[in-house]
Amino acid sequence: MAEKHFTPTQRMAAAARRGLRLRETFNRGGTQVGVDRAHQLANRADVSAADIKAMHSYFARHAVDKETKTHQWDSDDDPSAGFIAWLLWGGDDGKAWADRNVKTLDD
C-alpha cells in the first residue's frame, strides 16, 4: 500500500515564510531541520506520515518556548528564537494540523 501524503495549508505556508524572513532578519531561531521543514511547508510540498509525527513531536516538546523571558512571542520587531522556530514548523496552524493528522495515522 502506498504511503499517504498530506498537503500543508496556505496558513502553514504563510507562517513558515514569516519564520524564514524573521530568521534571516534577526539571525536566530530554529535549526537546519526547522529551516528545511519551513521550505517544505512554504512550498506546500507533500508531507509524509513520518514528517507529521516529527511535527507533532516538535510542537509537544516546544510549547514551553511560549513562556519566553527574552524577546517576544508573536513579534515582528523583537521575536524570540522559540517563536521563529515555531513558525518554521508551521506555527499554531501547523500544530493544530499535525495534531489532527497524527491521529489519523493511528487509525
> Grid coordinates representing 23?
530568521
Residue 5 confidence (pLDDT): 81
Q: pTM for this structure?
A: 0.93
Residue 70 confidence (pLDDT): 81
* Chain centroid to CA 103: 18
CA-CA distances (angstroms) from residue 34 to 1, 4, 31, 43?
Answer: 29, 22, 5, 14
Beta-bridged to residue 72, according to DSSP, are 79
- Domain spans, the chain: 5-106
pLDDT per residue as tens digits for the range 24-82: 999 999 999 999 999 999 999 999 999 999 999 999 999 998 887 889 999 999 999 99
> Grid coordinates representing 92?
499554531
